[in-house]
Amino acid sequence: MNIDDISAVLANTLYIVKNRRISVRRAFASTCKLMPCSSREVHREKLYELTRLFISSFYRVKYIAEKSGRRNMSNRYLARLFLYLYFMEHDLAFPNKLKKVVRRDFPDLEKNIAEIEAWAKLSYPKWFYEKLASLLSVNEAEQLLYSMNKRVQWVRINTLKIDLDKALKLLENEVEFSVDREIPFLLKVVKSRRPLRSLKLFKEGLIIPQDKASVLVVKALTPEPDMTIYDFAAAPGIKTSLIMQLTDNKARIVAVDSSPRRLESMKKLLRKYGVEVSRVKLTLADSREISLMKGADAALVDAPCSSSGAISKDPAIKIFLENDLIIHLMKRTQVDILYNALQHTDIAVYATCSLMPEEGEEVVIEVMNRGIEHKLIEPSINTSKGYSKYVVWNKVRRTFPHKDESEGFFIARFEK
């Protein structure tokens, strides 16, 4: 593959991310159906990593291009500029053609790189940077954003299917990891010789990629055997399956989701993960309005959100956050789902994988103002508190990428 072939893969993946609003992984796979993504010299997984970095660097590359007076640049052109910067920063020999084109079109490149503003250097939308800086401090917001540009992978040992010690032994041959201090079935991947998805343990559902913050959401729910739990935004079922793991397959779950496609995946996933499927009732419905006859012992609202806390997993989210529209849309849905959930149960955990208070503190406050009997009870998990400018800050929890090495989640527990 030459530099033009590589730019074509990068540019097309960006095009798909922008237009179909899907993850980098899926957009890359679609691109690879249209054009070659590997050759003798270029390994497909390496090209995927490069593409991921390109999408993550989108705002930075666009800023540098615009500073050079170039607006509305094609994706192909942005890809070339990205590759040029990549070669430069990694001290690699430039392909001649690339050097000639970029030098011609960007005469002030070094100056523009040196004078770049912090939000662009970190490569996030400007509004997103400013919002976090106003909630934390400039310094802390920058640490947070910097750490979201790196990926930390967590893996849950699925003790429904394999003994913990046996899994650790098997994994030792493939992966360098550290076991979490508080959660013995959770591992942080330090280094892996090959992608986790290619491991037999993964393919057979013995290990499950699951971020630490997502595990903490289920911990905050404190599920117990024989509880009936309503999961109001359940698909694809990662948290449902963890509830079943923590209760030794003895909880009963009504798993509601409004997406038939995602519920279909959930059905397959639960089987793969060894969940006792007769105890999980998959239900296609809108959780803003569903009315279930029997009350539940507890409910989980792992609400649909902007996913702004999961950028480290999928940098395509940066592109979806070009403006803050989605945050406000999601807030409405979350208020409605949470309020409805609280009509069904005395105990509920509401969580989002978002760093935005509109999808956390503000939802909690709005639902409480609607008049509910529930109180906020501090979840017994060891993470940061909410944003201090909100009155509920010390009753709710947040996880932060730069502090917890996890995705950025909001977690609140209600009890009557």
- Which of residues 3 and 282 has its CB atom nearest to ligand SAM in the complex? 282
Q: Which is nearer to ligand SAM, 144 or 233 (CB)?
A: 233
Residue 16 CB coordination number (10 Å): 21
- Among positions 205, 237, 309, 360, the unique one binding ligand SAM when judged by CB under 6 A: 237
**378 is a site residue for ligand SAM (CB under 6 A):** no
Stretch that binds ligand SAM, among 228-236, 318-326, 366-374, 379-387 (CB under 6 A): 228-236
Question: At its nearest, how many Å lie between ligand SAM and the CB of residue 332?
Answer: 10
DSSP string, 207-243: EEE--HHHHHHHHHH---TT-EEEESS-TT-HHHHHH
The long-range contacts involving 45-49, CB below 8 angstroms and separated by at least 24 positions, are 45/195, 47/1, 47/6, 47/9, 48/24
Report the C-alpha gap between 13 and 18 in whole angstroms: 9
Give the residue among 183, 181, 155, 182 at the shortest CA–CA distance from 170. 155
Which bin fits 92, alpha (ψ -120 to 50), beta or left (φ > 0)?
A: beta
Q: Rounded to the nearest whole angstrom, what is the least distance from the CB of residue 290 to ligand SAM in the complex? A: 8
The contact pattern for ligand SAM, residues 160-199, with x = CB under 6 A and - = no contact, is ----------------------------------------
| Shortest Cβ 275–ligand SAM spacing (Å) | 12
Cβ closest to ligand SAM, residue 59 vs residue 409? 409
Characterize 77-114 residue by residue with b for buried, 16 or more Cβ atoms within 10 angstroms of its Cβ, and e for exposed: bbbbbbbbbebeeeeeeebeebeebbeebbeebeebbe
Residue 117 or 286: the one with the smaller Cβ distance to ligand SAM is 286
35 sits in which H/E element: none
The closest alpha carbon to 352, from 217, 258, 221, belongs to 217
Residues forming the active site:
353
| Closest CB to ligand SAM among residues 57, 334 | 334
Determine the Cα–Cα distance for residues 367 and 365; give it in Å rounded to an integer: 6
Residues between 303 and 342 that touch ligand SAM (CB under 6 A): 304, 333, 337
- The one among 233, 244, 251, 349 contacting ligand SAM by CB under 6 A: 233
Question: What are the structure tokens assigned to 254, written together?
Answer: 């009504």
Rounded Cα gap, residues 276 and 207, in angstroms: 17
Q: Is 179 helix (H, G, I), strand (E, B) or coil?
A: strand
Determine contact, residues 321/333, Cβ cutoff 8 Å.
no
Cβ(244)–Cβ(253) below 8 Å: yes
| Shortest distance, position 302 Cβ to ligand SAM, whole Å | 4
CB of 266 to ligand SAM, least distance (A): 7
Residue 400, helix vs strand vs coil:
coil
Question: Binding to ligand SAM (CB under 6 A): which residues in 58-117?
Answer: none
| CA-to-CA dists, residue 339 to 19, 94, 162, angstroms | 33, 57, 38
Looking at the Cβ atoms of 70 and 262, the one nearer to ligand SAM is: 262
Q: Choose which of 186, 215, 235, 392 interacts with ligand SAM (CB under 6 A).
A: 235
The minimum distance between CB 160 and ligand SAM, in angstroms, equals 16
Considering the complex, state which of residue 66 and residue 336 has its C-beta at the smaller distance from ligand SAM.
336
Tell the smallest beta-carbon distance from residue 123 to ligand SAM (Å): 24
The CA distance from 305 to 329, in Å, is 9
Phi, psi of 230 (to 5 degrees): -95, 125
**Binding residues for ligand SAM restricted to 244-303, rule: CB under 6 A:** 256-259, 262, 286-288, 302
Total residues contacting ligand SAM by CB under 6 A comes to 19
* Cβ at position 168, least distance to ligand SAM in Å: 24
> Do residues 335 and 366 touch, judged by C-beta distance below 8 A?
yes
Q: Please identify the residue of the shown chain whose CB is closest to the bound ligand SAM.
A: 233
Nearer to ligand SAM, 44 or 272 (CB): 272
Residues at the interface with ligand SAM (CB under 6 A)? 233-239, 256-259, 262, 286-288, 302, 304, 333, 337
